[in-house]
Structure formats: structure tokens, C-alpha cells
Structure 1
């Protein structure tokens, strides 16, 4: 693909390939190639088909491609990482289920370090939000399940659709320690919207992503009880 490619050009992956090769892309985000808004809109159209509580689609995606705003967003995100954990892990806890070889975990930390340095250069930054009557809705398990169960499937569907269109994404939450400041920056009504993540969106450098190492699926299955 090149910059003149039609926006409806896709990679032709199967559903299983999209589901198993949509990776958290950090190092391989193309910082030099603009992402057409039309391509973003195509992926959003796919996301609207995700299941959502009471079929209300009470979520919104805020996309930012303005360079000055991205700089401020990236600064809040970095401050959030430092607020959470200033150590060399950049706020990432060590894995508690399964095991990573030290080289594998070092690679993840290294790729996060790359994103820390370059987040403001990513062509598009996306913040998914869920709309609530009041933030008190999230004070119960039912309220959380209803709201997260609406915005998260839509966001993941967007990320899958982005993959099929040659775009890379990565779920990050570092800025949420400064959610109010981010709301002020973007003009979000803080009392009636809740931010979920900050997701970089860019063309990927190469498209040859593969399934990642995972714990055997049998370890996640329970029949008729725990």
C-alpha cells in the first residue's frame, strides 16, 4: 500500500487471522505517513456493529491529529506513567499468569520506552469514552459491566478493523491519572464522560504480524464451576 491507495483497500485477512495477529504495536508504528480520516471513519463504521448495552451505543471516539494537541496529550500520558510507577518498568507490572522469558519481557519494556519517546509523533491519537448520566453509575458492579461492556467491544472492533486496513494500534491507560486534565484539554464534559484508554493509530511498518506466545488455552477453561 502507498499514500495514494484507495481507503477501502484491505489486507484480505481471514477473521481468525485478524483476531490472532492484531498486536499491540509500539515500535512499528509509521510516524511519517499520515492516516486519512476516511480510513478512520471506515473502521469506526465497523465498530458501530459491536454489541452494546441496550443497543444504545453510549460511547464516542475522540481522534486527534493536531500536532500541538498531540504534544500536550503525550505529556499528560507520560506524566501518568511517572505518577503510577517511576521505575524502569514504566508502570508495567511483572506478569502473574504464565511466564515470560526475560528477553521477551525486556522487549515489551523496550517497545514501551520507544512509545514514550515518540507518542506525540504518532499520526492519530484516539481516546474512547463512555457517556454516563453521572459518574456514580460506575459505583456498582452492574454499572461497570454495563458501561465497560459497551465501549470496550466497540473499541476492540475498531482496533481489529484498523489491523485489516494496515493500521497498528496499542491499548494504553497511562494518562488516566490525569483524566480531568485530558478532559479539559479536549473539551470533554468530565461529569458525563469517562475516558477508557489512549490509543495510538498509525500505519504499521510491515504487515507481517504473527500470533503472540500465550498460555495454553486449556488453562482458561472451567466447566460447570470453578
Structure 2
């Protein structure tokens, strides 16, 4: 299924989807392949030939990833709640609390998401300076975003997550990834969405985040 969105609609409505992922509907392998075809056409840096994408469908492997994710998430969410309490953020309707609620929902249900995509890149970031580290990630990130855009056009929802990465080595052992040579960049849960009527999200006034010539 194609949504036939314009390019601007696609860019403005590809959301981080957590609560509206359909856990019951199977995602056809050929649809994922189409999304990965788009990913492989992304603009590249010097490390383009090091791209790899691991598609995880096996329920036991998804459960293993989800357990690692939840272990990291428990510490992360505790720190978030403590910070919110110190800041006096007790408004259940605040953007922060809504995002936190959806993150908790995803952590609870991650193993039910039918496809986990793990983008990887050859090389390890340890010991790299800022320039080399930017180069390491500089191709795989646009490629993964292309995958997410292609997924949206096909009625799929995705969200960029990194919380399993504190346990990257354990995930590598689970999935047979050569940890000493390959870096996992993210985990992208992928599923059809419950409805396709996503809208642009609230954002800060662009005058506060866009700078011309100088920062001030």
C-alpha cells in the first residue's frame, strides 16, 4: 500500500511512532526490502561500503532485544522522572510527560513489534576523534532516515531508538554480530500503523533555533 504523499507531506509527517504500532499485522518481507532499497540509495560518505542492516523477525530474538532494551530503559526513565520532579514538571499533559508515556509503552511492548531493524556500520567509535566519529556515522544515519521515510510512505511506522546500546555487546552475541568490527547504530521498531493520519508535530519557533552567519 502506498499513501502517495507529496515529498513535503512525507517529511513533515514521518513521526516517531510508539503507541500506534500494529502488533497484530504481519509486515511482508518484500515491503521491508523496498524500504531498504531506498535506504541504500541515500547520499554516502567515505564509509558507505560499511553499511549493514540486520532485519530481526524471529520472536525469540526480538524478545531478547526487548529484554536488553527494558533493562537500560528502567534506569533511563528513573533519571528522567527524577529530573522532571526537580524541575517541578508535574503536568501530566506536558510534552515531556506525553513522550515519556509513549516511551514506556514502547518499552513494555517492544517484543511484540514484528520487525526490529538494526543499522550497523563497519568500524568501532572507540578512540576516534570528533571528525572521524562524524564520518563513521555520517552515512548510516541518512540511510536509516531514508528507510524510515520509505516505511512511512508504505503505511509503516518507525521510531529511532538507541536504548539497547548500553548492552550492545550482549545484543551482538545474541544476533551473531562481530562486535569488535561492527558498530550497531540504533534499533528501529517497524510495524504497520493504526491509521495513517499523522500530522506535523509541535516544534519550537524556528527563529529560536535557526542562526544566520553567526550564532547570536
Regarding TM over 0.5, the answer is yes
Give distance in 1, aligned partners of 2:76 and 2:101.
Answer: 16
The CA RMSD measured in Å over matched residues stands at 2.0
Give distance in 1, aligned partners of 2:112 and 2:146.
Answer: 24
2:178 equivalent to 1:206: no
Residue equivalent to 2:88 = none
Q: Give the ranges of 4+ consecutive aligned residues of structure 1 lying more than 6 Å apart after TM superposition.
A: none
| Gap regions ≥5 residues in structure 2 | 85-90
Query: In the alignment, is the contact (CA less than 8 A) between 1:135 and 1:192 conserved in 2?
Result: no
Where in structure 2 are the equivalents of 1:31-110 lying within 5 Å? 31-54=23-46, 56-82=48-74, 84-85=75-76, 87=78, 89=80, 103=93, 104-110=95-101
Cα distance per residue 1:14-55 (max 9 Å; x no partner): 001110100010000000000001000000111111111137
Deviates more, 1:57-66 or 1:163-172: 57-66
Q: CA deviation at 1:89?
A: 3.8
Give distance in 1, aligned partners of 2:138 and 2:47.
Answer: 11
Give the total of aligned pairs: 209
Query: In the alignment, is the contact (CA less than 8 A) between 1:10 and 1:164 conserved in 2?
Result: yes
Query: In the alignment, is the contact (CA less than 8 A) between 1:57 and 1:150 conserved in 2?
Result: no
Give distance in 2, aligned partners of 1:152 and 1:16.
Answer: 20
Query: In the alignment, is the contact (CA less than 8 A) between 2:158 and 2:190 conserved in 1?
Result: yes
Q: CA deviation at 1:148?
A: 1.1
Where in structure 2 are the equivalents of 1:1-226 lying within 5 Å? 9-54=1-46, 56-82=48-74, 84-85=75-76, 87=78, 89=80, 103=93, 104-132=95-123, 134-136=124-126, 139-226=128-215
Deviates more, 1:101-110 or 1:173-182: 101-110
Give distance in 2, aligned partners of 1:225 and 1:105.
Answer: 30
Give distance in 1, aligned partners of 2:185 and 2:47.
Answer: 19
Give distance in 1, aligned partners of 2:147 and 2:44.
Answer: 14
Query: In the alignment, is the contact (CA less than 8 A) between 1:135 and 1:191 conserved in 2?
Result: no
Change in 2 beyond 3 A, CA 1:195/1:76? same
Q: CA deviation at 1:88?
A: 7.3
Partner secondary structure for residue 191 of structure 1 = coil
Q: CA deviation at 1:169?
A: 0.3
Q: CA deviation at 1:220?
A: 2.1
Query: In the alignment, is the contact (CA less than 8 A) between 2:47 and 2:135 conserved in 1?
Result: no
| Gap regions ≥5 residues in structure 1 | 1-8, 95-100
